[in-house]
């Protein structure tokens, strides 16, 4: 079994319920939720003219290989009504693999660790709630340090 960290986001419909339904769908696929962050309301990133998001992070135990996990996440998104939308646009649900064990993977289908997670407070804040001491395998910094650095850069600290 492997430990994966999954980011969840929603900004259409009942955002909180969408996040809960996504967690239930992960459990239905046999994933064991080890930790879950609280839900954070955040401003949209990349495309400002859209509703605010609810973001959270999960630590899950899974028997799925990374590509299988990605396929499962995309299937959940589709089943929950996610439609193709503009990049960084509004969505019913968004599920991203943030980290998978200490794996470093970069191919045409999947990049782990998530390539932009260290630039996004809406990812780092919930992730630091559940895994502050987890080491980013490429940057070799703990999640809490990445969040602190990002907040300092943004003048939030």
| 149 among known catalytic residues | no
| 91 among known catalytic residues | yes
| 144 among known catalytic residues | no
Choosing from 15, 36, 91, 120, the catalytic residue is 91
Question: Quick one: how far is CA 86 from the chain centroid?
Answer: 19
Q: Dihedral, CA atoms, 110, 108, 80, 73, nearest 10 degrees?
A: -30
Choosing from 28, 49, 87, 94, the catalytic residue is 94
Listing DSSP states for 55-97 in one string gives: EEEEEEEE-S-HHHHHHHHHHHHHHTT----STT---S-EEEE
| 96 among known catalytic residues | yes
Choosing from 71, 96, 144, 149, the catalytic residue is 96
Q: Which are the catalytic amino acids? A: 82, 91, 94, 96
């Amino acid at each position: 079994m492997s430990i994966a960290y999954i980011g969840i986001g929603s900004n259409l419909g009942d955002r909180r319920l969408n996040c809960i339904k996504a967690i239930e769908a992960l459990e239905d696929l046999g994933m064991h939720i080890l930790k879950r962050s609280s839900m954070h309301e955040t401003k949209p990133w990349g495309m400002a003219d859209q509703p605010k998001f609810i973001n959270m992070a999960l630590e899950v135990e899974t028997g799925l290989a990374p590509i299988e996990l990605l396929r499962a996440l995309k299937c959940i998104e589709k089943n929950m009504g996610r439609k193709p939308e503009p990049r960084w646009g509004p969505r019913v649900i968004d599920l991203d693999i943030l980290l998978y064990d200490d794996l470093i993977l970069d191919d045409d289908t999947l990049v782990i660790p998530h390539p932009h997670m260290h630039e996004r407070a809406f990812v780092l804040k919930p992730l630091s709630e559940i895994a502050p001491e987890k080491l980013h395998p490429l940057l070799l910094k703990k999640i809490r340090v990445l969040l602190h650095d990002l907040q300092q850069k943004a003048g939030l600290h």
